[in-house]
Amino acid sequence: MSIKLRTSLWFTLMVLLLSVMILVFVLVINGAAVTGDPAERLVKVVTKNTEDVEFDNGKFDWDDLDLYKKGVSCSVYNIDGEFLKGAVSESIDLSGYPLKDGLLREESFNGKDYLIYDTYVDMDVSGIWIRGLVENVWSSGLMDTIITLTFILLPSILVLAFGGGWLISWGAFRPMNKILAAADSISGGSDLSARINLKRGPSEMKKLSRSFDSMFERLQKSFETERQFASDASHELRTPITVILAQCDRAKRKDKTPEDFTNSINVIEEQTRNMSQLVQGLLGLTRLQHGTDRYKLKKADLSQFCLACAGEFVPEDDRGIELTCNVENGIEAEFNAALMQRLIQNLLQNAYKYGREKGHVCLTLKKADGRAVLSVKDDGIGIAPDDIDKIWQRFWQADPSRNESGSSGLGLSMVKEIAEFHGGTARVESSPGKGSEFIITI
């Protein structure tokens, strides 16, 4: 049974129960007024009023009398039959109607049957008459209303309750189809970019749609980084593997001298080291994008940290370059130490690699607009304006011949990923032949 049907049935059942409860309540509280023998009701009400009349200091006190009760209208007359007080209907004129003690009479007024009952209250010195009038029907007008409500209005209310419940739940669950369609197309692998993007609908569904969309986003990113990893790895490893296989072939030839053999081993070793570096770099990058390694952020003194990194820095090849630090004191930031060290190392390594021989590299840290700005500046070869946007791409290198010295073209991609991981940005300012400055804002 669908949720829509269940909800609507529940609504209807509740309305039905409520109506039955109200009906029972009305009948229990005022049952006698709406049903029962009218003669019995008439005599009871008049007799009760008779008992409530008091005579004090030569005056009647009839304040406690019920002049209208259980459908019975009562009126009070003096000993001479003159009307004193009471609930009289304008359409029924009882003024000339003789008062008769203890007699129950039937009379017709305006085409309706009534019962009349009079009693004389004797107070020795004086007396009064109490007359009761009731419609001679076993069910009163109130009962007719209840019957009308029960048999005409109640079914309409039930239909309304069912229809309303159905409509509300239909409206609430309609966006579900959109969510299911998006989930289906993603699980079918046909369209990873599918999103629900629910603009209208109940707030709960909009929330659900937003969480699904962010989950789909993560899924898409995760699939794409994996795909990228596989394609990058297979592409980049192809060359070193070919070189290794060629060297193995060469080494196996019988007429090779021990020097040739050692050369082949050296080439294989270098290629293997390159491969290992490349795989490590790629893995680090993929993990960062993937979020598989949970890099924790911690608030710490970035100034001290930068100085420590610069102090520990060992260039891959020392070309007589001088490193200076221009670090503002006491800059605090939330960062991951391992990643930040990697970022600084990569930038310094590049500055030394592409810097001028016996040149100058400067590491700067300052605060601007509440953000920490870290920069590494060199006075080396610089970057051509056309290449400025390309340097952040994986494996991109201005001069691929440097690949043999162990560069993989992943360093700056990692720098950018780390900066973005910290909610920051990475950019470069460079002029060919003069030098470059890499600026990281976090």
**Residues of this chain that bind ligand ADP (CB under 6 A):** 350-351, 354, 378, 380-383, 391, 396-399, 407-413, 436
Nearer CB in complex with ligand ADP: 116/410: 410
Nearer CB in complex with ligand ADP: 335/438: 438
Nearer CB in complex with ligand ADP: 119/430: 430
Q: What are phi and psi of 118, to 5 degrees?
A: -115, 150
Nearer CB in complex with ligand ADP: 132/409: 409
Q: Least distance in Å: CB of 416 to ligand ADP? A: 9
| Cα→Cα distances 351→21, 103, 215, 360, Å | 86, 124, 40, 9
Work out the angle at residue 215's Cα, subtended by the Cα atoms of residues 213 and 217, and round it to the nearest 5 degrees.
70
All residues at 6 or more sequence positions from 105 whose CB lies less than 8 Å from its CB, including other chains: 115, 116, 117
Nearer CB in complex with ligand ADP: 115/410: 410
Q: Least distance in Å: CB of 272 to ligand ADP? A: 18
Q: Least distance in Å: CB of 392 to ligand ADP? A: 8
CA–CA gap between residue 406 and residue 246 (Å, rounded): 20
Q: Least distance in Å: CB of 6 to ligand ADP? A: 60
Determine if residue 198 is left, alpha or beta; phi over 0 gives left, psi from -120 to 50 gives alpha, anything else beta: beta
Helix (H) or strand (E) holding 89: none
Nearer CB in complex with ligand ADP: 189/320: 320
Q: Least distance in Å: CB of 303 to ligand ADP? A: 23
Q: Least distance in Å: CB of 302 to ligand ADP? A: 22
Q: Least distance in Å: CB of 243 to ligand ADP? A: 18
Q: In terms of DSSP bridges, do strands 360-368 and 322-327 run parallel, antiparallel, or are they unpaired?
A: parallel
130 forms bridges with which residues in the sheet?
A: 76, 119
All residues at 6 or more sequence positions from 175 whose CB lies less than 8 Å from its CB, including other chains: 196, 198, 201, 202, 205, 206, 209
Please give the structure tokens belonging to residue 215: 């989950």
Nearer CB in complex with ligand ADP: 141/400: 400
**Which amino acid, 215?**
M
| First-to-final CA distance of the chain | 55
